[in-house]
Amino acid sequence: MSEFTSGFWEIYIGAITIVSILACLVLLLTMSSRRVSGGATETTGHTWDEDLGEYNNPLPRWWMWMFILTIVFSLGYLAFYPGLAFYKGGGNWSSTGQYDEEIKQADAQFGPMFQKFASRDIKDLARDPEARAVGQKLFLNNCAQCHASDAGGSRGFPNLTDKDWLYGGEPETIEATIANGRKGVMPAFGAILGSEGPRDVAHYVFSLSGRTHDSIRAARGREKFQTICAACHGAEGKGNPQLGAPNLTDKIWLHGSSEEAVVETITGGRNNLMPAHKELLGDAKVHVLAAYVYGLSNPAPGGK
């Protein structure tokens, strides 16, 4: 990636910017000559509809002055803001600095509210309408891109409104997941199981949740499952929250429940990443967000 972070590109873009501005100025100068009053009218030689000619007149003065003003503005902009290679601009402005300043202002305004929430228990906070409203906004801004705005999830991204949790649904566990992230790995077993092994194991897995399956394939897949898969998913296939290994005895499928999808998972494996949000949001906001997520699958009686 060094070719994209080299200082050459800053110089390259800065040079193109200056050359472009100067080229516009040269264009204006070459098009600014006035036509002598009473002189012969020149044309460009282009004619349409037999007699509609294109005159070679200079640009209107008002248009030229507007163009000149844009050039002056662009030079002033480059003098004040960073846009020319390593020159940082007379105004000492940067997008990072503006972001940091906005974060400071937001922390000063909303910090006391989040600190008030931080001292309360997650279960209690999940039933507080004010905390839920704040948590929902945090969720929509930071989590909805993967888990959907209704937290219903999608293929590869868990549904947060049910009772199925890969790492456990206790309030403290949810908070740890949001803060520190998770990295789930399902190894690829295609090379170990051979051409038909993944399909045999898939049908055995189907039998664990009572799905329609090929009993002959399931019988062959049972031994392979106990030898290879039980280490993570357990001998009964009920999963292991310590490892994030899903329960295979229910009807919830993270990457699809079709035979092709399950065989693909067993053959090629899966890699799931839940990003850590502690550094981005801070402990207090993570606490409120955890309360909101907990409340999605543990609503208060009467939905209030």
The C-alpha atoms of residue 289 and residue 283 are separated, in whole angstroms, by 10
Q: Tens digits of per-residue pLDDT, 100-151?
A: 999 899 888 888 999 999 999 999 999 999 999 999 999 999 999 999 999 9
Range of the domain at 84: 1-34+52-94
- Sign (positive/negative) of CA torsion 288, 180, 282, 146? negative
289 and 170 belong to one structural domain = yes
pLDDT at residue 197 is higher than 90? yes
Mean pLDDT across the chain: 90
pLDDT at residue 304 is higher than 50? no
Average pLDDT over residues 240-255: 95
195 and 169 belong to one structural domain = no
User: Per the domain annotation, does 24 fall within a domain?
Assistant: yes
145 and 283 belong to one structural domain = yes
Tokens 């948590």 belong to which residue?
A: 135
β-pair partners for 43: 55
2 and 67 belong to one structural domain = yes
Give the containing element (helix H, strand E) for 135. Answer: helix 129-142
192 and 89 belong to one structural domain = no
Secondary structure of 186-246 in HEC code, one letter for each residue? ECCCHHHHCCCHHHHHHHHHHHHCCCCCCHHHHHHHHHHHHHHHHHHHCCCCCCECCCCEC
57 and 164 belong to one structural domain = no
Question: How many domains are contained in the chain?
Answer: 3
- Answer whether 0.85 is exceeded by the pTM: no
End-to-end Cα distance, the chain? 51
User: Position 62: which residue type?
Assistant: W
